[in-house]
Amino acid sequence: MKTPTRWIKRALLYGVVAVFCFFSASPFLWMIITMFKQDKDLYRSANNPFIFNLPPTLSHLNLLFNNTNFLVFMRNSVFIGVLVVIITLVISIPAAYSLARLVGRWGERAGIGIFLVYLVPPTLLFIPLSRVVVSLGLHNSLWSLILVYPTITIPFSTWLLMGFFKSIPKDLEEAARVDGYSRLTSFIKVIMPLSISGVVAVIAFTFTLTLHEFVYALAFVTSSAQRTISVGVPTELVRGDVFYWQSLMAAAAIVAIPVGLVYNIFLDRLVAGFTMGAVKG
């Protein structure tokens, strides 16, 4: 009796999944088809845009890698991302532990305060920060972004890790201290290994936030050699009114797909991080 309804339910489930997948992935599908197309094939509106009417070509990838600053943008973005992840971890891990365990009653309030800092978006601060960057002599340098990006990543990371540390039973630390560990060493040797998921979530999130950031990167950096992927591709691969669509699509797809894969691999940990950090924290 139950089998037909179950079958219908399954079909319904797959149908809804397909709709969501199509909505999310169609721009990427379009990117991948476009990037291998010849100009003569692409710029004929009568052609079926979803198939290769003329044989595919790699010439636009060649243009992207050899005649544009794409690789420079990539290198800059990775460099900034790695440094900002390190700065964020060094500053927010102790801060989160302090808020969760050490500073007691006003820790919670300070935690909310830090979360509120996260609500001040870059779109609000880019004008004064551009003056700060100029006065430090960092304008037009990617170091300005390394200096400023932790303002986005520290509040979030601290908040997430705080929830994580809170969810670890206090008994564990007390047991460690009975065994002769100090407060500090029990934190390093007992708490940190248990918080790996939280740290992974913070790394994944921090790196993507820096990779995605647009406002500061647009406002502070104008020289091509210092630009990030996020600003470099849409502003510099368009020459005047000419859009090199195939190369642009290739640039977007080449960044999107690996990051998406990495994200998917760490997604369970990210969900775990959110569960511990946000739900129970």
Site for other proteins in 55-74 (CB under 8 A): none
To other proteins, the closest distance from the beta carbon of 139 in angstroms equals 11
Does residue 163 bind other proteins (CB under 8 A)? Answer: no
Instruction: Verify binding: residue 242, other proteins, rule CB under 8 A.
Output: no
CA distance 147 to 223: 18
Asked whether 273 and 195 are in contact (CB, 8 A), the reply is: no
> Does residue number 279 form part of the binding site for other proteins (CB under 8 A)?
yes
Among 63, 94, 140, 200, binds other proteins (CB under 8 A): 94
199 binds other proteins (CB under 8 A): no
For helices 245-265 and 59-67, angle between their N-to-C axes, nearest 10 degrees? 80
Choose which of 75, 211, 236, 269 interacts with other proteins (CB under 8 A): 211
| Cβ 78 to other proteins shortest distance, Å | 13
Per CB under 8 A, the list member of 98, 168, 194, 200 interacting with other proteins is 98
Q: Is the dihedral of CA 142, 205, 32, 234 positive or negative?
A: negative
Please give the Cα distance from 184 to 187 (Å, whole number).
Answer: 5
Question: Please, which residue, 7 or 214, has the CB nearer to other proteins?
Answer: 214
Residues 6+ positions from 156 with CB-CB distance below 8 Å: 118, 205, 206, 209
Q: CB neighbours (10 Å) of residue 50?
A: 8
Q: Which of 129, 138, 191, 202 binds other proteins (CB under 8 A)?
A: 129
Query: Which 23-42 positions form the footprint of other proteins (CB under 8 A)?
Result: 23-28, 30-31, 34, 42
Could you tell me which residues come within 8 angstroms of residue 93 by beta carbon, excluding any fewer than 6 positions away?
Answer: 161, 192, 199
Q: Is 225 in the site for other proteins (CB under 8 A)?
A: no
The residue among 137 and 280 lying less far from other proteins, judged by its C-beta, is 280
First to last CA, the chain: 45
Using CB under 8 A as the binding rule, whether residue 91 contacts other proteins is answered as yes
**Quick one: which segment of 61-69, 78-86, 138-146, 209-217 binds other proteins (CB under 8 A)?**
209-217
The reply to whether 191 sits near other proteins by the rule CB under 8 A is: no
Is residue 121 a contact residue for other proteins (CB under 8 A)? yes
How many other C-beta atoms can be found within 10 angstroms of the C-beta atom of residue 166? Answer: 20
In terms of residues, how long is the chain?
281
Cα separation, 174 vs 183, whole angstroms: 9
**Residue 124 parent element (H or E):** helix 122-135
The minimum distance between CB 144 and other proteins, in angstroms, equals 11
Quick one: which of 2, 5, 6, 50 contacts other proteins (CB under 8 A)? 50
97 contacts other proteins (rule: CB under 8 A) = yes
- Figure out which of the listed residues 72, 118, 168, 236 binds other proteins, where binding follows CB under 8 A: 118
